[in-house]
Amino acid sequence: MESLSTGSLSSAQKDELMDQLKQQIAVANAQELLTKMTEKCFKKCIYKPGTSLDSSEQKCIAMCMDRYMDSWNLVSKAYSNRLQRERQRM
């Protein structure tokens, strides 16, 4: 297995590589969020899958997704704050 060596890269190339990695991580996180939110809200709100959603299912899905996003954002913010505190201690 090859190891990743950044010793021969310029500072600009390293910054570009880090930006690309951050973008890939952000996309992966968004995909995970959407997948988990869909799974959990579907299980919670849809009892008899059919060709369309009735109004109560639509409301349930909307509220479930809102709560899930709020929770995700709260946890993400707390995690980011903790990482910042840890970095400042170093």
Q: Tokens 């639509």 sit at which residue?
A: 58
Q: Domain for residue 1, yes or no?
A: no
Domain residue limits at 60: 11-89
Return the CATH number at 31: 1.10.287.810
15 pLDDT tier (thresholds 50, 70, 90):
confident
Which of 17, 16, 15 has its CA nearest to residue 4? 17
The reported pTM is 0.67
Q: Domain for residue 40, yes or no?
A: yes
Please give the pLDDT value at position 5. 61
Total of domains in the chain: 1
Q: Domain for residue 59, yes or no?
A: yes
Q: Domain for residue 48, yes or no?
A: yes
Q: Domain for residue 36, yes or no?
A: yes
Q: Domain for residue 24, yes or no?
A: yes
Q: Domain for residue 51, yes or no?
A: yes
